[in-house]
Amino acid sequence: MEEIKNKNKISELRQDLVTGDWVVIATGRAKRPEDFANIAKEEEKKEDEKDCLFCFPEKTRQEKDVLMYQNGEGQWSLRVFPNKYPAFVRSRMPKHFEEGPYFGMDGTGYHEIIVTRDHEKSLALLDNLQVLEVLDAYQERYIDLMNKKSVNFIEIFHNHGREAGASIAHPHSQLVAIPVISPYIQGELNGAENYYRSTKECVYCVMNEWECETQKRVIFENKECVAYCPFSSRAAFEVWVVPKKHKPYFERITASEKVAVSEALKFSLNKIYQALNNPAYNFYIHTAPCDGKDYPHYHWHIEILPRTAAWAGFELSTGIEISTIQPEIAAEYLRNI
Amino acid sequence: MEEIKNKNKISELRQDLVTGDWVVIATGRAKRPEDFANIAKEEEKKEDEKDCLFCFPEKTRQEKDVLMYQNGEGQWSLRVFPNKYPAFVRSRMPKHFEEGPYFGMDGTGYHEIIVTRDHEKSLALLDNLQVLEVLDAYQERYIDLMNKKSVNFIEIFHNHGREAGASIAHPHSQLVAIPVISPYIQGELNGAENYYRSTKECVYCVMNEWECETQKRVIFENKECVAYCPFSSRAAFEVWVVPKKHKPYFERITASEKVAVSEALKFSLNKIYQALNNPAYNFYIHTAPCDGKDYPHYHWHIEILPRTAAWAGFELSTGIEISTIQPEIAAEYLRNI
C-alpha cells in the first residue's frame, strides 16, 4: 500500500507537467479517503421546486431562451438563457480605457445559464443520455458565440452546491464568453507549446498514454476517453476527463466523442458523489481560445474539482495548492467504491 | 460620485499592470460599501485562553522556540517555533523523483509559527510598536533561513479568522521556506522585468507615484510607505502596503522603513477591521526569491486580502477574479470610516 511506503515523508512537491507550477501533496497531514466524506458537504436545504426560478423561467421575467431541447412529449428537457445578473453584457466591441499607467476595458461579453429540467437530480444522478444532451448544448452555444466580434475566449463551468458558488440549487451550468484569454488557459497554452517544442509530442497525449498504461490513477476508460486523478492534483479527489484523440478545440468534438465524454463525466461525478457523500464541486472545460489564432499543441479536456480544501494565506499568496491525499490513493478509492 | 458615472456599465475588465492578468470589477452586481460588513465575519467563538496551544506553547510538547522576544518585565511578547503539523520539513536537500513523464521532490523546507502574546487582540488592535516587533521577527527569521541550502523561496503570511484558514484563533503568522519559487511570484518577477525592459522603470514605483499623485485609492501614506486599494483588486477592499524606496528584497528593510511599514500595516488592518466588522482576512509578503539570483526590477510589498468573496467555478477555471466594488469606492470608504 502506497500510504505505507510514504509514511515517513511529510509531503511531496509535484510539478504540473503542463504549466511547470508546483502543488504540495501533504501526506503527513493525510486523511484516510473515507475521512473526506462530508468535508465538502452540499447543504441539504434546497429551495422548494415551486419557487424555483429555473423550474419556471417563464414566470421570472427571464430573457427569452437562446436554446431549448424538448423530449418526446413536447416538454422542455434543457434550456439556455442569458444570466439575469450577468458579469458580462453584450456590446459590439468593448471600449478600452486608460488611467495613468493602467489599462482596462468594458466587461463586454455573454453570460448564459444552461439548465437541465430536474430540480433535484445533479449531473451525477442523471442518465448518460441526459448528460450527453448537456454536452450537446455546451457545443451548440459555444459554436454560436465563438465568432462574435468581441469574443476571444469562452469558459463553460458548473458549480454544484452552495460552497462551490451555486447560489441557486437547481442544477445548472454557466457559459461566459469574453474578450480576454484567462491566465490559467494562457499558462496551459504556453506549457503545451513549450513541451511540444522540446519533445515533438502533446503533453496531454503523453499523460494520457502514461495513465492508461499504468492505470494507477485511472478511474474510468473507454475507447475515446479516459478519466484520472492528475499526478499534480490541485485538490483531493480532483478528476480530469480527457479525450484520447488529440484535439485543441472542444467545439470540434464529434458525436461519438461526445457519447464517450458524457459517459466518463457522468461516471466520474457519480463516483465523487458516492465517495464524498454529495460534495460541493466545480467542473469546467479547458479549451483553446476562439480568437482566430491556431493552437495546434493544446488538448481540450474537463477538470472536476471537489471542494475538499479551502484556500488559506499560503495558497492565496503563492498559488501553490496543498492537497492532503495522494491522487493514487484517491483514484483507488473512487474505483472501488 | 463614481458609482453614478458607472451606473450603466455592468462590469469592467482591469488589467494587472505587473502580471498582465485580468480581473473583473462587476459594478453591475455592486453592493454599497457598508453591505460588505459581516460578509467575511470572523466567527465569534474562540478557544478559551486556558486551553490555547499558543498561549502556553511549553505545555504542548511544542518544539523549542527558534526566536523569543521579551518585554521589560521578562515576559515573552512574541515567540517563533516550528509548526507541529508542518507542510514542509527540514532536510539537507530535497530528494527528486520521477514517475514516467512526471517530476517531483520531497517537501523539504521550514514551516514556522510566529505568535504574539495577546490571545484576543489581532494585529489590527495591537499598538504600532507591537506590530513593529512582528516585522522584526519576520525579518530575523527570514535572514536566518534564506541561506539554507534547500531554501530558494520564503513566504510569510497571516490568516485571520476561520474562513481565512486560521485553525487556531490565537493571532499568529506563518513562515514557509521551500525549494521552489511560487507561480504568483514568478509571474510578478517576469512582469516587473518586462516592464523594466520596455520603460526602464520599476512597475511598482510607477504605481506608487501615480497613486500618491492622484490619491484616489490611497488610504494611508507616510514618508517611506503608501497603502492603497490596487487598481486591479482581486477582492473587495484589498489593500497593498508598498514601501516607497525601490527594493526587491524584504529582508533588507531598514529600521526606519520597518517603522513606516508597521504603521501603514496596522492602520490598514484597523480600517478593514472597522469597515467590515472584524472580517476574516489574509495578508502576506511578496518579496524576491532567495535563490542566489538577482532580481533588481522587483519591488517587495505586503498584500492584504479580506475574504469578501469566494472562488466559484469561473475563478477556479480561469484564474480571473471577480470583485463587486470599485477599488476607488472601497478606498474612499476606508479613508472616511
pLDDT of residue A73: 87
Of B166, B183, B322, the CB nearest to A87: B322
What residues in A contact B25, CB-CB < 8 Å?
107
Contact A174 B28 (CB under 8 A): no
Q: Which residue in the block uniquely carries the three cell numbers 443520455?
A: A129
Confidence label for B44 from pLDDT (cuts 50, 70 and 90):
low
User: What is the distance in angstroms between the Cα of B58 and the nearest Cα belonging to chain A?
Assistant: 23
**pLDDT tens figures, B207-236:** 999 999 999 999 999 999 999 999 999 999
Please identify among residues 84-143 of chain B the ones whose CB lies closer than 8 Å to any CB of chain A. 85-89, 94, 97, 99-107
User: Within the 39-78 window of chain B, which residues sit less than 8 Å (CB to CB) from chain A?
Assistant: none
Confidence of residue A41 (pLDDT cuts 50, 70, 90): low
Kindly indicate the confidence band of residue A3, based on its pLDDT and cuts at 50, 70 and 90: very low
Tell me whether residues B10 and A319 touch, CB distance under 8 A: no
Burial class (CB in 10 A: 0-12, 13-18, 19+), B139: middle
Residues A212 and A26: beta-carbon distance below 8 Å: no
Alpha carbon separation from A69 to A133, A260, B55 (Å, rounded): 8, 21, 62
Q: What's the sign of the alpha-carbon dihedral A44, A48, A51, A55?
A: positive
**Percent of chain B, pLDDT > 90?**
66
Helix (H, G, I), strand (E, B) or coil at A162: helix
Chain B residue with minimum CA distance to A89: B10
| Contact between chains at A13 and B158 (C-beta distance less than 8 A) | no
Q: A152 and chain B: CB distance < 8 Å anywhere?
A: no
**Interface touch B107/A12, C-beta < 8 Å:** yes
Q: Does A319 touch chain B (CB under 8 A)?
A: yes
CA distance B185 to chain A (A): 7
Mean pLDDT, to the nearest integer, of B287-300?
97
Mean pLDDT of chain B: 90
What are the counts of helices (DSSP H) followed by strands (DSSP E) for chain A?
A: 7, 15
pLDDT in tens, A179-214: 999 999 999 999 999 999 999 999 999 999 999 999
Q: Which residues in chain B are closer than 8 Å to A88, comparing Cβ atoms?
A: 10-11, 24
CATH 3.30.428.10 applies to domain B2-43+182-336 = yes
- Please state the domain extents for chain B: 2-43+182-336, 49-178
Instruction: Judge contact between B241 and B56, C-beta under 8 A.
Output: no
Residue-level pLDDT at B6: 47
pLDDT band at B260 (very low <50, low <70, confident <90, very high): very high
Q: What CATH number belongs to A2-43+181-336?
A: 3.30.428.10
The listed range with the strongest mean pLDDT (A11-15, A29-33, B305-309) is B305-309
Please compute the mean of the pLDDT values over residues A312-322 and round it to a whole number.
Answer: 89
ipTM of this model? Answer: 0.90
Q: What is the DSSP letter of A95?
A: P
With helix as H, strand as E and coil as C, how does chain B read? Answer: CHHHHCCCCCCEEEECCCCCCEEEECHHHCCCHHHHCCCCECCCCCCCHHHCCCCCHHHHCCCCCCEEEECCCCCEEEEEEECCCCCCECCCCCCEEEECCEEEEECECEEEEEEECCCCCCHHHCCHHHHHHHHHHHHHHHHHHCCCCCCCEEEEEEEECHHHCCCCCCCEEEEEEECCCCHHHHHHHHHHHHHHHHHCCCHHHHHHHHHHHHCCCEEEEECCEEEECCCCCCCCCCEEEEECCCCCCHHHCCHHHHHHHHHHHHHHHHHHHHHCCCECEEEEEECCCCCCCCCCCCCCEEEEEECCCCCCHHHHHHCCEEECCCHHHHHHHHHHC
Q: How many CB atoms lie within 10 A of CB A213?
A: 10
Q: Which of A26, A89, A179 is nearest residue B87 as measured by Cβ atoms?
A: A26
How buried is B125 (Cβ within 10 angstroms: 0-12 exposed, 13-18 middle, 19+ buried)? middle
Q: pLDDT tens-digit profile of A102-159? A: 999 988 999 999 999 999 999 999 999 999 999 999 999 999 999 998 999 999 999 9
Pick from A87, A100, A106: which is nearest to B9 by CB? A106
Between A189 and A36, residue with greater pLDDT: A189
Q: Which amino acid would we find at residue A89?
A: V
Please check whether residue B269 touches A, CB under 8 A. Answer: no
| pLDDT tens, position by position, B79-128 | 999 998 888 888 777 889 999 999 999 889 999 999 999 999 999 999 99
How would residue B74 be classed by pLDDT, with cut points 50, 70 and 90?
A: confident
- With H, G, I as helix, E, B as strand and everything else as coil, classify residue A62: coil
- What integer pLDDT is reported at residue A274 of this predicted model? 94
Domains A2-43+181-336 and A49-178 share a fold: yes
Which chain B residue lies closest to A230 (C-alpha atoms)?
B102
- In one-letter notation, the amino acid at residue B296 is P
Q: Which of A191, A246, A206 is nearest to B99 (CA)?
A: A206
In this predicted model, what pLDDT tens digit does every residue of B231-249 receive, in sequence order? 999 999 999 999 999 999 9
The percent of residues in chain B predicted with pLDDT above 70, rounded, is 93
The CATH number, out of the four listed (3.40.50.460, 3.30.428.10, 3.40.50.620, 3.90.320.10), of the domain defined by the range A49-178: 3.30.428.10
**Mean pLDDT across B125-142:** 97
Written as nine digits, the cell of A330 is 484517491
Residue B252 near residue B243, CB atoms below 8 Å: no
Does residue B43 surpass a pLDDT of 70? no
Query: Is B165 within 8 Å of chain A by CB?
Result: yes
Instruction: Collapse the DSSP code of A304 into the 3-class scheme (helix H, G, I; strand E, B; otherwise coil) and give the result.
Output: strand
Q: Which of B85, B88, B104 sits opposite A15 (nearest CB)?
A: B104
